[in-house]
């Protein structure tokens, strides 16, 4: 733990002295120490919180997001991330596990330091601006703890970077304690973030309320028995989701595929469906604030137009493929998510008349694959694609709302729940439903957000209150190999068959959470001890 906290202090000591144009990520943070002379204006507070939208999230976005959310969730297969969907990740993994663990604590450390500096040094600045800056910090801290508690279970709560640096006897805190902090931080954010912002991509009140609704929905199952969730948390999820859908004025992008094209969600542009997204710089030599997704996930350099594009072995699992094959009517989302043999994409290789995908032994990624620099108006570069990363979209919030309305019932035909559930399906061009159950909502969310790093967390939400069902779902997922064949003469949509060799990887309670990285537990042996409740009287307001 000392290793992590040391890195947090180093990171936290630097301010992002950035220009405060409308696009607040237009250049990387400069390594200049903060001091009492900083945070003396609203612009400086905005500059100080800007790094929380990119650099501290880099090591999560770089490899962990899909490994954790989609490989482990059963959507993705890969030749170098197979340990995640085989539930064989070890504490010695230094390629993905350790960097992600450290990244989440960097987010926490930067948030702690920045909010303390704002509170101590912002003399002469309006109370609203101060509270907004602190709210951004608390939102980000809450999100980092959400990923920590969801992936590792009980983890240490760090609230004082310097004060806890030398504590090699630090203990993990209980999941209930971590969830209490998440709710506390996000509740503050709902009260202090503005409904509208002057800078594209900044968090709003709607970002916080939507995220809080999702958190309440998840926490509702924590510690529950018999498949019933905490009604108070379900009611809170419904309340906050309703406020967003009824008051924010936000609407779904009418075309699903456009969500993942740079012209609709790139530097300087934020799709109105985005409730929270990571803000990356699309230019060379800005390592740490660049979006490397396409470099790793595009099938080859013909797609990227450069030397990157290393995703030939990454694609949809056989389990996800079976959904697409049995639901050809869901072709709009499928084609925007994964490529099937024979698909044509006019937005890639525009100069050459588009890109034709001809692989039949895997369905490679399309979501967030945007093509070359030339395809994107000259913006971006190798390892730095010109698109932001969604962390929460309005469509997901609609499904959270529907599930919160349904609550502990076996199913619902509630008009409000169906209205928002079916909004997602109407955009996808698939038939609406007259009633829905938990499985309907779970599956809808899986298909809507596939390869956005979310599905594992939905499975975990189920695991909280019905572990038997969650493990059975995982155990039934086919993660074998396949060959995909087009059925000649089928159009609008094209249809396919597959020849596959099945493979299943059973899960147990022991591997539902990752082990604490060995590099951390070696420095703080009590991380292996039983977790303890957190003393919230120690937490600064």
Helix (H) / strand (E) containing 331: helix 331-337
Q: Are 26 and 69 in contact (CB under 8 A)?
A: no
- Tell me the per-residue pLDDT of 444-453, one tens digit each, with 9 for 90 and over: 999 999 999 9
What is the pLDDT, as a whole number, of residue 286?
Answer: 84
- Tell me the per-residue pLDDT of 248-278, one tens digit each, with 9 for 90 and over: 999 999 999 999 999 888 877 778 899 999 9
Q: How confident is the model at residue 297 (pLDDT cuts 50, 70, 90)?
A: very high
Q: How confident is the model at residue 344 (pLDDT cuts 50, 70, 90)?
A: very high
SS (H, E, C) 365-405: ECCCCCCCCHHHCCCCECCECCCCEEEEEHHHHHHHHHHHH
Q: Is the peptide bond before 126 cis (omega within 30 degrees of 0)?
A: no
CA–CA dist 100, 165 (Å, integer): 19
Could you tell me how many residues make up the chain?
541
CA–CA dist 231, 234 (Å, integer): 5
Of the chain, the percentage scoring pLDDT greater than 70 comes to 93
For the question of whether the overall pTM of this predicted structure is more than 0.85, the answer is yes
CA separation, residue 503 to residues 318, 319, 479, 497 (Å): 9, 10, 5, 18
409: left (phi over 0), alpha (psi -120 to 50) or beta: beta
- Tell me the per-residue pLDDT of 345-363, one tens digit each, with 9 for 90 and over: 999 999 999 999 999 999 9
Q: How confident is the model at residue 35 (pLDDT cuts 50, 70, 90)?
A: low
Q: How confident is the model at residue 167 (pLDDT cuts 50, 70, 90)?
A: confident
* Interval 2-7 mean pLDDT: 38
């Amino acid at each position: 733990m000392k290793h992590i906290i040391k890195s947090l202090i180093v990171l936290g000591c630097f301010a992002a002295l950035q220009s405060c144009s409308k696009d607040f990520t237009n250049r990387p943070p400069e390594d200049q120490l903060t001091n009492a002379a900083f945070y003396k204006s609203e612009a400086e507070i905005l500059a100080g919180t800007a790094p929380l939208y990119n650099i501290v999230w880099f090591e999560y976005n770089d490899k962990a997001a899909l490994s954790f959310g989609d490989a482990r969730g059963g959507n993705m297969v890969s030749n170098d991330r197979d340990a995640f969907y085989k539930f064989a990740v070890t504490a010695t993994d230094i390629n993905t596990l350790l960097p992600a663990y450290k990244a989440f604590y960097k987010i926490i450390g930067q948030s702690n330091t920045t909010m303390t500096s704002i509170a101590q040094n912002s003399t002469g600045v309006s109370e609203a601006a101060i509270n907004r800056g602190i709210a951004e910090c608390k939102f980000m801290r809450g999100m980092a703890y959400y990923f920590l508690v969801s992936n590792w279970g009980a983890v240490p709560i760090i609230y004082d970077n310097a004060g806890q640096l030398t504590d090699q006897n630090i203990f993990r805190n209980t999941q209930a304690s971590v969830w209490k902090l998440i709710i506390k931080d996000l509740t503050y954010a709902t009260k202090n973030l503005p409904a509208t912002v002057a800078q594209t991509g900044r968090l709003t009140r709607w970002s916080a309320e939507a995220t809080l609704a999702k958190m309440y929905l998840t926490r509702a199952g924590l510690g529950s028995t018999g498949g019933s969730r905490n009604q108070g948390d379900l009611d809170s999820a419904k309340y906050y989701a309703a406020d967003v859908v009824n008051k924010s004025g936000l609407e779904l992008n009418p075309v699903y595929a456009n969500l993942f094209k740079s012209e609709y969600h790139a530097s300087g542009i934020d799709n109105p469906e985005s409730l929270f997204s990571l803000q990356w710089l699309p230019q060379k030599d800005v390592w740490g604030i660049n979006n490397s997704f396409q470099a790793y996930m595009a099938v080859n350099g013909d797609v990227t137009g450069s030397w990157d594009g290393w995703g030939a072995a990454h694609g949809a699992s056989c389990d996800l493929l079976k959904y697409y094959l049995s639901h050809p009517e869901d072709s709009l989302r499928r084609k925007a998510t994964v490529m099937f043999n024979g698909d044509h994409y006019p937005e890639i290789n525009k100069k050459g008349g588009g890109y034709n995908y001809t692989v039949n032994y895997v369905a490679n990624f399309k979501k967030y694959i945007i093509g070359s620099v030339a395809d994107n108006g000259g913006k971006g570069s190798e390892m730095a694609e010109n698109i932001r990363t969604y962390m929460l979209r309005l469509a997901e919030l609609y499904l959270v709302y529907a599930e919160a309305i349904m609550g502990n019932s076996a199913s619902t035909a509630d008009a409000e729940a169906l209205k928002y559930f079916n909004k997602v399906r109407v955009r996808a061009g698939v038939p609406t439903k007259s009633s829905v159950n938990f499985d309907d909502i779970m599956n809808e969310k899986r298909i809507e957000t596939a390869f956005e790093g979310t599905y594992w967390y939905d499975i975990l939400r189920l695991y909280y209150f019905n572990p038997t069902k969650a493990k059975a779902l995982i155990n039934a997922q086919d993660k074998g190999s396949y060959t995909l064949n087009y059925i000649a003469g089928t159009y609008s949509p094209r249809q396919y068959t597959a020849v596959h060799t099945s493979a299943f990887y059973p899960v147990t309670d022991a591997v539902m959470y990752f082990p604490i990285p060995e590099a951390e537990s070696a420095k703080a042996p009590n991380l292996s001890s039983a977790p303890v409740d957190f003393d919230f009287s120690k937490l600064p307001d």
